[in-house]
Chain A
Amino acid sequence: MELTGAQSLIKSLETEGVEVVFGLPGGAILPVYDPIIDSSIRHILVRHEQGAGHAAEGYAQVTGRPGVAIVTSGPGATNVVTPLANAYMDSTPLVVITGQVATNAIGTDAFQEVDITGITAGVTKHNWLVTDAEDIPRVVAEAFHVATTGRPGPVLIDFPKDVANATATWSPPGPMDLPGYKPVGEPDAAAIEAAAELMLAAERPVLYVGGGVLKANASAALLELAELTGIPVVTTLMARGAFPDRHPRCLGMPGMHGNYTAVTAMQQADLLVALGSRFDDRVTGKVDAFAPRAKVVHVDIDRAEIGKVRRPDVGVVADCRLAIEALIGALRRRAGERAGSLDPARLAPWIGLLDTWRERFPLAYDAAPPPGALDGSPPLKPQYVLETLRDATPPDTILVSGVGQHQMWAAQYWQFDHPRTWVNSGGLGTMGFAVPAALGAKVGRPDRMVWAVDGDGCFQMTAQELVTASSERIPIKIAILNNAYLGMVRQWQHMFYEERYSEVYLSPDLPDYVLWAEAMGCVGLRVTSPEEVLPAIEKANEVDDRPVVIDFRTDSMEQVYPMVASGSSNDDIVVHPSQQGLAR
């Protein structure tokens, strides 16, 4: 079939099953935008290329399918570097197509030329510069293959304008040419046996579950493993929802702002079974002091994660679902041979201890500011807003968040009972992620209610994508926890810089978020007192033809508890002031 390079690209995307792309055109990518008119693929015109990237991430995180973004060369390309880095850190499959100047102009500092394959080499799994239109079907097939297999991640295809304009024959992609790419899958049997043995011998085991479990669609297998063994589960920031919070064995989130029980269970464990988690510094605190008595089983699809931070006793390089299923098989066999080896009573003392902690150190906040500490700030607590929102939305609601205090409260106070219902920026911590990611999530799952919890600072970074949402009739809902501050930075200055607040004040009403929302075609609401919270949420839930923004004026003074200070041992976790005197 004779096509232009641009037509060939679009046809290749269609062949990959792409249903939607997020993008914004410009000079170098112009030829590609012409066949988009005739394509079955839906194109969503964003207002900033960063929005295209994050929307593609939101789409990918909720669907498990790769998100696709198309942008032009130069500034269009550099504007997607942040989403690429974000997706690289959080292992989100993304295919980004950038326009490029014509091949004979590459290297001449041509208008809107940047070396985007060079710039993004460190934040993509791989990237390609297409120099021959005949290569397009193969390169696109390779790009989708690399993005979605093994440890998923972002890839980039740089597409020069003359290649887009060239004529080429399109044929279904033949064999891929990736001699150096060999993703693993099946676990090694001996390692599984060794891991199973450790799991049976442990007296204080914890399943340390990371985002890899979601990527591997291993939630059902994990539930079976947890119920078979009775071993309690912690879910990291990237894994919220991988194991239901309502399950009695779920301890919730560990880490810098994890709850006391999850953090301390890991510290005191004699066995950590790390499943698709990577011993991130926000989870381990001071590495030398992390889980000092624990043996470690580490399952990850990326061999380089095994031993990168903590040397495991047993390493398993495999897909998490396959590894968990193999573990279940190995444990069942042992239980058949040795009666009582999986008797739940064996863990009773450990579970008893965990229950004591759970009772003594639940998540806590002061329902109203302490008397005299008001300083005119409104008595609306961000945690109360989240609890109300949680209870007033369907259990399979997709919750998206920005980065900051509001993100931590969302991760703490929400009840995640379903996989792929939590979308956030974990590894990179990208402010401005929420609005575009929520848009992408809603495009991917139009059947679900999608709420974003955003900070006032974050919102100001990418709010323009609400114009995209309005014009495309994508009815997302945004709860701004407007504390008038870059709150998380303020918290650090409060705790570690003697309350010397440097450049963190934002003002509660500049901009006027309600007017701004309305100007962008959204419904805008403002809430200043606890009584107004539920009615406003209910009103927002009823809107389904446009986005809604609620400006919740929350207490500026509120701090996120518990907290492990950066670089400290997790043993030195700081709990809420009301719990600080309690015996540990």
Chain B
Amino acid sequence: MTQSEPLLEVDDLAVEFRTDEGVVKAVDGASFTVDRGEIVGVVGESGSGKSVTAMSILGLVKSGRRAGGTIRFRGRDLGALPAKELRSIRGGEIAMIFQDPMTALNPVVTIGRQIVEALRLHDKKLAKGAARDRAIELLALVGMPDAAARFRQYPHEFSGGMRQRAMIAMAIANGPSLLIADEPTTALDVTIQAQVLDLLKVAQQETQAATLLITHDLGVVAELADRVVVMYAGRVVEQGDVITVFTEPRHPYTVGLLESLPRLDRDVDELHPIPGSPPSLLAPPPGCPFHPRCPLARDRCRTERPPLRAVGAAHHSACHFAEELAAVVPTEVTR
């Protein structure tokens, strides 16, 4: 394994779902990488394939079919691993934080026991007492006041923010090198969101784990992420480091997302939400999937699918006319 090899390499991933109406191409040729220790934000409208991509990394797409592509983790092809090894990676080297900690926790098992079981699942020899001490330590680490007492409580006795803390404690329990957080703050009150984001930062520093932060909130990405991956209709349409993408977007969809952000220096009537809606994944439009909504679209876009290509240093875009966007005047994003 060389130093330059990425931790996670998703290459041309395709996932399909057979439904009554036809085959849904939920992920259609998505490629991106995550390096050791970095935070990568994944943004895109609802239904753009973010969650399915995350689940594919864990090899757990419910009722879905991997239609193509490879996922390499530390150089190993996850698709080729035996089930047992994959299980030891799940919750071990790759851990996940869910959107809604209420439903992701078993309502009839105490928080402490759930953390203890997460530990013992990956270390069968771990004694009960040691697991208990470690669980309380983890709860304290994620800022749970009175961790020893909290250990014995049930999820419904926790506030939303505290539950998310417990989820994070559970996720980092086995020292993962990749954390996947799927909309970790979406289900929380605005006031709690900032706390949980700070905590994610702490968890990331504590474990040195790379983090795949899935969110629809560009503000969250701006605050936390090193790099950003923009998804649209199951594809990656742009990726690069956060500052570059936010200041010099090279895909019309990213530009649209940035322009629809509320900003302090702009009046509300100056907002430009992207007109139209995402395409049906049952019958995606030919060529560029964004063309029905794209202000720059022309004939070539309707027939020829734009590949993801380099448009700058470590900056990629899937637009035929990415270079034309250099003329657009971007400014920095405020939360």
Q: Do A and B bind each other?
A: no
